């Protein structure tokens, strides 16, 4: 059928199928700012304005939009520099999103802006709650919504014209370690019309220097393109002849494929290829995107003659349209021999349990044993645990449970493959690990590494889910089969049944304590469920002990020789595989550890903060696990040099008002909180509501020592600007920006002179990818090292140009785009670049460097939570979260605080509502963003971030990791706050009303 769509005041004649959605039609017309997030419009990424009102383009037909005015993000603003053409620049909303740090991955940003525009067009002076309501239909998995709300309020002020906003006047509340912490809200600005400010407090370490760009809230280098909805993501591409891939998935949890007949599907008009296990090479591999060798068993195939979970692959199809591909799936006849299935991890190792991996190609790693359905076994003994227990006055034992949860990035997994003109296979994919994709898929596709090029465009969130080489093989096989470009984009249901998740675990704790509060021994056993495949099985679960059990070493003599045991079984079950998820096993560990510490402190009558600090690791002590464990490799003992935990506690407890609230029965009986956490007047008190406050202390790691390697190259251009090429993958975290800041600092230029590009396996240096909180630290050091090489070349040339002897070059400093000699003479970088490229002893000034770290300095944090519990229903409202973090020196407080806010929000879901469950046949219960609830803008508690800087000596600018640690403490802090409120221990997350109510009833 032919219809006319009016998009951004332009009429388009469109030929479309009656069933084509408006989203598909709009994107076909290259308005790529409208995104696919899910089929039902629940993510809101597909928001457009229809006659001024937000609608979900993915859940209405294109034909229904005929005769209406459609507005997409492309109608708003443009880059302020358009050559000779005068432009209006960005729309105030876009400007505010850029300046406020409201963009992380940017996948939701066009939709948020359009939803906000509809509000401001209707209501120029909205309240914060109205802004939150207006953008509530657009889910953001990255930001925690604080900065987007601030951006909308700022833009509203600009559009009203009632407040001149100086975009550069972001004031940072810089305290120092010597300052007494106060309970002031760093965000409160008296008299300011904008009532939500998102400046984190930064408590500066005495070693912190004032830099030109490091430490400054620089705008993200990719913000301007993302705010305009430019075609920056994997699927934002149109290649002539593109085919659409779909995968037939298993309806059974465990079955053999006895017969498979694809003939009818192949005959369907528009089908280009159907592949089953009989059509492609049988190559065993692991989908875990990790360094070589993969620290886990090889137990997966692109397609197999056996299926091991509901959702496992059976066949793959490429067709001229997604609809034809879907239809073809229904025409594939499969005869299954259904086998017994293991759905409960406790059943997996029983002697009579069926074997999930009986394939002869299975390759063991370390203690994996397919005969026992064991993907990994871990045992780490530090000190003498039995002696420690014998020396204790009290022994505390308890069991805890943590669920399987989803990364739920708003951009699904998506990949486009094609042969280039040299017959090299190009894999354009939304991945955190482009170099691992290339290396790991080469044998699977029977191509040499050198014939594969992996391009990573912007990533719409990953959170570990895209550390898996999960689905790139599907379009790659289909491109090989058809010679045509193929796009494969996961449906939202596939994300739930065919992607990865956080390992669920059942955990036992046993802790020995002396009467004075000294921990004498600490033991954890984890039964970890890896699902049908062992991707990340060993390393995720190893991390559970390595990071969570390292924090408490004991006091006195025990500090020198702590007694700690961690052991774990990682078992196969017939459920969708678990894998990497931000925090990588550590959130699983801190739920039991920090709930356990709280119980011990209360049972023995200690202040919960004092008890923790008494036993927590201190600067100068060995990381206990570094003496005994290294992900299956030789351990390398490592001293922890910087621990800002005490200062984090001091700052956090002041910010949340701990001393006024903890143990205060009057406060506890105050009524429900308002959004900002303030108590209602006493007249409104409701006796069924009880308030509580809780704390958790946590530590993480920074990269994997002697393994994680990052590379960077820097090239100088004619105008004195630089190309910074990194293999590191910015998945929305802002890593491209902080890498550019550090390189710019060394080269004495503003960040806008660093043209940053990541990543392409043909052009950018190797990088292990974005995981393990390593990019700022590892890839950042590589960028600094490359910048130092370039700086030296610049100084040598500047010395010659300034008439200095060559030996004097090292006294030249680079600042403000100048090379400045000690005598005050200077030459600009532009002059140096022109001299090098065109005039004397011509050379391309450039540098390439890489870095691998011998250490993994841990960041630390104190996480506080304030809750209200309804004792009649068990409902828990989290009113406020405060996190005080020691992540070393903060390179960019804007992007770093965004990481904390977004991480706390994800962790809040882990604490109270997110869970992936299965019925008795192994069918997923949660298959969309309705049943699987992630927090919306209008449901958020107040969030506050405080940075407590330490100077980590192993990094040129003193940084440690920031991205993963906010995942660790929220759940136990909330659990401890519930205990504080109602005296009830809930030992299993998420703490749903039902669980709380049951515990209260049984109290």
Binding site for ligand FES (CB under 6 A): 103-108, 140-143, 410, 461, 732
State residue 140 phi and psi, 5-degree precision. -125, 125
Minimum gap (Å) between residue 657 Cβ and ligand FES: 31
How far is Cα 301 from Cα 361, in angstroms, rounded to an integer? 10
Look at residues 961, 699, 737, 567 and name the one whose alpha carbon lies nearest to residue 101. 737
> Residue 321 corresponds to which tokens in the numbers above?
């349209």
Q: What is the CA radius of gyration of the chain?
A: 28
Minimum gap (Å) between residue 496 Cβ and ligand FES: 17
647 vs 906 by CB, closer to ligand FES = 906
* 3-class secondary structure per residue, 819-867: EECCCCCEEEHHHHHHHHHHHCCCCCCEEEEEEECCCCCCCEEEEEEEE
How far is Cα 947 from Cα 506, in angstroms, rounded to an integer? 33
99 vs 569 by CB, closer to ligand FES = 99
73 vs 108 by CB, closer to ligand FES = 108
Minimum gap (Å) between residue 411 Cβ and ligand FES: 8
How far is Cα 64 from Cα 22, in angstroms, rounded to an integer? 8
Look at residues 75, 49, 65, 77 and name the one whose alpha carbon lies nearest to residue 12. 65
764 vs 905 by CB, closer to ligand FES = 905
Cβ count near 542 (within 10 Å): 27
Question: Long-range contacts made by residues 792-798, C-beta under 8 angstroms, separation at least 24?
Answer: 793/836, 793/843, 793/845, 793/846, 793/847, 794/716, 794/747, 794/819, 794/829, 794/832, 794/845, 795/819, 797/832, 797/835, 797/836, 797/845, 798/827, 798/832
> Residue 652 corresponds to which tokens in the numbers above?
């956090």
How far is Cα 501 from Cα 579, in angstroms, rounded to an integer? 6
104 vs 853 by CB, closer to ligand FES = 104
90 vs 725 by CB, closer to ligand FES = 90
How far is Cα 255 from Cα 277, in angstroms, rounded to an integer? 14
State residue 486 phi and psi, 5-degree precision. -135, 135
Minimum gap (Å) between residue 901 Cβ and ligand FES: 11
108 vs 248 by CB, closer to ligand FES = 108
26 vs 105 by CB, closer to ligand FES = 105
Minimum gap (Å) between residue 909 Cβ and ligand FES: 14
> Residue 5 corresponds to which tokens in the numbers above?
């769509």
Beta-carbon contacts of residue 645 (< 8 Å; ≥ 6 apart): 613, 616, 697, 699, 860, 861, 862, 886
Cβ count near 517 (within 10 Å): 20
Minimum gap (Å) between residue 38 Cβ and ligand FES: 13
How far is Cα 813 from Cα 849, in angstroms, rounded to an integer? 21
DSSP 285: B
Minimum gap (Å) between residue 588 Cβ and ligand FES: 24
Minimum gap (Å) between residue 39 Cβ and ligand FES: 18
333 strand-pairing partners: 261
> DSSP letters along 128-187, please?
HHHHHHHHTTS--SSS-SHHHHHHHHHHHHHHHTSS---TT-PPPEEEETTSPP----TT
State residue 566 phi and psi, 5-degree precision. -130, 125
Minimum gap (Å) between residue 36 Cβ and ligand FES: 13
151 vs 521 by CB, closer to ligand FES = 151
Minimum gap (Å) between residue 87 Cβ and ligand FES: 25
Which strands make up the sheet holding 201-204, listed edge to edge?
173-176, 201-204, 942-948, 876-886, 860-870, 689-699
732 vs 909 by CB, closer to ligand FES = 732
141 vs 216 by CB, closer to ligand FES = 141
761 vs 773 by CB, closer to ligand FES = 773
108 vs 740 by CB, closer to ligand FES = 108
Minimum gap (Å) between residue 105 Cβ and ligand FES: 3
Beta-carbon contacts of residue 747 (< 8 Å; ≥ 6 apart): 714, 722, 753, 754, 787, 790, 791, 794, 814, 829
Minimum gap (Å) between residue 215 Cβ and ligand FES: 23
Minimum gap (Å) between residue 64 Cβ and ligand FES: 27
523 vs 901 by CB, closer to ligand FES = 901
Beta-carbon contacts of residue 209 (< 8 Å; ≥ 6 apart): none
Report the relative pairing of strands 313-319 and 243-249 from DSSP bridges: antiparallel
Contact call for residues 436 and 709 (beta carbons, < 8 A): no
How far is Cα 808 from Cα 787, in angstroms, rounded to an integer? 20
Look at residues 328, 377, 838, 886 and name the one whose alpha carbon lies nearest to residue 641. 886
User: Residue 348: helix, strand or coil by DSSP?
Assistant: helix
Minimum gap (Å) between residue 410 Cβ and ligand FES: 4
76 vs 628 by CB, closer to ligand FES = 76
> DSSP letters along 176-216, please?
ETTSPP----TT--TT-S-----PPEEEE-TTPPP-SSTTS
109 vs 212 by CB, closer to ligand FES = 109
How far is Cα 506 from Cα 988, in angstroms, rounded to an integer? 9
How far is Cα 918 from Cα 996, in angstroms, rounded to an integer? 22
How far is Cα 727 from Cα 757, in angstroms, rounded to an integer? 8
819 vs 937 by CB, closer to ligand FES = 937
544 vs 906 by CB, closer to ligand FES = 906
Minimum gap (Å) between residue 684 Cβ and ligand FES: 35
């Amino acid at each position: 059928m032919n219809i006319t769509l009016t998009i951004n005041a332009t009429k388009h004649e469109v030929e479309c199928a009656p069933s084509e959605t408006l989203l598909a039609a709009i994107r076909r017309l290259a308005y790529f700012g409208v995104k696919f997030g899910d089929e039902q419009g629940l993510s809101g990424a597909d928001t457009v304005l229809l006659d001024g009102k937000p609608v979900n383009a993915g859940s209405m037909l294109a034909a229904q939009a005929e005769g209406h005015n459609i507005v997409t993000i492309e109608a708003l603003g443009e880059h302020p520099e358009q050559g000779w053409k005068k432009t209006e620049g960005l729309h105030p909303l876009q400007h505010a999103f850029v300046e406020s740090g409201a963009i992380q991955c940017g996948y939701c940003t066009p939709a948020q802006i359009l939803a906000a525009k509809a509000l401001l067009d209707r209501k120029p002076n909205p309240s914060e709650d109205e802004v939150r309501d207006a953008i509530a239909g657009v889910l953001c998995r990255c930001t925690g919504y604080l900065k987007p709300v601030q951006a909308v309020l700022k833009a509203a002020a600009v559009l009203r014209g009632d407040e001149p906003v100086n975009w550069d006047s972001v004031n940072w509340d810089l305290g120092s370690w010597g300052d007494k912490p106060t309970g002031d809200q760093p965000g409160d600005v008296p008299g300011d019309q904008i009532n939500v400010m998102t400046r984190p407090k930064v408590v500066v370490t005495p070693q912190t220097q004032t830099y030109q760009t490091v430490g400054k809230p620089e705008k993200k280098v990719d913000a301007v393109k993302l705010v305009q909805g430019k075609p920056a993501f994997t699927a934002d591409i149109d290649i002539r002849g593109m085919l659409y891939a779909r995968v037939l998935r298993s309806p059974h949890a465990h079955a053999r494929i006895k017969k498979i007949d694809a003939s009818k599907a192949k005959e369907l008009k528009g089908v280009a290829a159907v592949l089953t296990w009989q059509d492609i090479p049988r190559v065993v591999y692991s989908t875990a995107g990790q360094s070589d060798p993969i620290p886990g068993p090889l137990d997966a195939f692109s397609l197999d003659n056996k299926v091991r979970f509901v959702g496992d692959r059976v066949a793959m199809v490429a067709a001229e349209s997604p609809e034809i591909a879907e239809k073809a799936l229904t025409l594939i006849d499969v005869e299954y021999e259904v086998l017994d299935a293991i759905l409960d991890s406790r059943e997996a190792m029983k002697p009579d349990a069926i074997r999930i991996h009986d394939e002869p190609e299975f390759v063991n790693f370390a203690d994996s044993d397919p005969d026992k359905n064991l993907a990994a076994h871990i045992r780490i003994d530090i000190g003498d645990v039995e002696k420690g227990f014998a020396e204790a006055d009290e022994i505390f034992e308890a069991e805890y449970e943590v669920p399987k949860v989803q990364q739920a990035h708003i951009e699904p997994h998506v990949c486009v493959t094609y042969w280039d003109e040299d017959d090299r296979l190009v894999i354009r994919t939304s991945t955190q690990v482009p170099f691992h994709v290339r290396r790991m898929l080469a044998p699977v596709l029977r191509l040499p590494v050198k014939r594969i090029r992996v391009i990573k465009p912007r990533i719409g969130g990953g959170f570990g889910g895209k550390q898996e080489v999960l689905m790139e093989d599907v379009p790659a096989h289909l491109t090989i089969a058809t010679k045509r470009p193929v796009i494969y984009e996961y449906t939202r249901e596939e994300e739930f049944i065919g992607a990865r998740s956080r390992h669920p675990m059942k955990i036992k704790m046993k802790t020995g304590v002396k009467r004075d509060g000294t921990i004498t021994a600490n033991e954890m056993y984890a039964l970890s469920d890896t699902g049908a495949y062992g991707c990340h099985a060993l390393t995720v679960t190893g991390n559970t002990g390595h990071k969570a059990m390292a924090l408490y070493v004991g006091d006195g003599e025990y500090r020198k020789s702590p007694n700690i045991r961690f052991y774990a079984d990682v078992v196969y079950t017939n459920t969708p595989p678990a894998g990497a998820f931000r925090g990588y096993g550590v959130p699983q560990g801190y739920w039991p550890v920090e709930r356990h510490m709280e119980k011990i402190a209360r049972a023995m009558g200690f202040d919960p903060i004092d008890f923790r600090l008494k036993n927590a690791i201190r600067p100068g002590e060995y990381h206990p696990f570094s003496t005994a464990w290294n992900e299956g490799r030789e351990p390398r003992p490592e001293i922890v040099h910087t621990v800002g935990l005490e200062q984090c506690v001091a700052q956090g407890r002041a910010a949340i008002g701990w001393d006024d609230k903890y143990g205060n029965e009057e406060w506890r009986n105050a009524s429900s909180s308002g959004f900002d956490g303030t108590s209602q007047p006493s007249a409104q008190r409701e006796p069924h509501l009880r308030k509580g406050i809780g704390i958790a202390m946590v530590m993480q790691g920074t990269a994997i020592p002697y393994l994680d390697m990052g590379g960077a190259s820097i090239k100088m251009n004619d105008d004195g600007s630089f190309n910074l090429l990194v293999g590191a993958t910015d998945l929305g975290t802002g890593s491209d920006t902080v890498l550019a800041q550090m390189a710019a600092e060394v080269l004495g230029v503003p960040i806008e002179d660093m043209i940053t590009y990541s990543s392409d396996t043909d052009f950018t240096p190797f990088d292990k990818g974005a995981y393990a909180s390593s990019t700022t630290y590892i890839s950042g050091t590589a960028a600094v090292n490359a910048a130092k090489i370039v700086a030296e070349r610049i100084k040598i040339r500047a010395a010659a140009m300034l008439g200095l002897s060559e030996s004097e070059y090292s006294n030249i400093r680079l600042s403000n785009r100048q090379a400045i000699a000690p005598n005050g003479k200077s030459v600009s970088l532009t002059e140096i670049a022109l001299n090098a490229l065109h005039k004397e002893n011509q050379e391309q000034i450039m540098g390439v460097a890489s870095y691998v770290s011998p250490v993994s300095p841990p960041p630390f944090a104190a996480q506080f939570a304030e809750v209200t519990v309804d004792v009649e229903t068990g409902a828990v409202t989290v009113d406020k979260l405060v996190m005080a973090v020691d992540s070393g020196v903060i390179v960019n407080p804007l992007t770093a605080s965004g990481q904390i806010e977004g991480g706390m929000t994800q962790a809040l879901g882990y604490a109270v509502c997110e869970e992936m469950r299965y019925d008795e046949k192994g069918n997923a219960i949660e298959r969309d963003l309705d049943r699987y609830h992630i927090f919306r803008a209008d449901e958020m508690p107040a969030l506050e971030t405080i940075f407590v800087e330490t100077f980590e000596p192993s990094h040129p600018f003193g940084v440690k990791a920031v991205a993963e640690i906010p995942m660790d403490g929220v759940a136990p802090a909330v659990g401890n706050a519930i205990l504080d409120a109602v005296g009830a221990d809930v030992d299993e997350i998420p703490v749903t009303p039902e669980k709380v109510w049951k515990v209260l009833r049984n109290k």
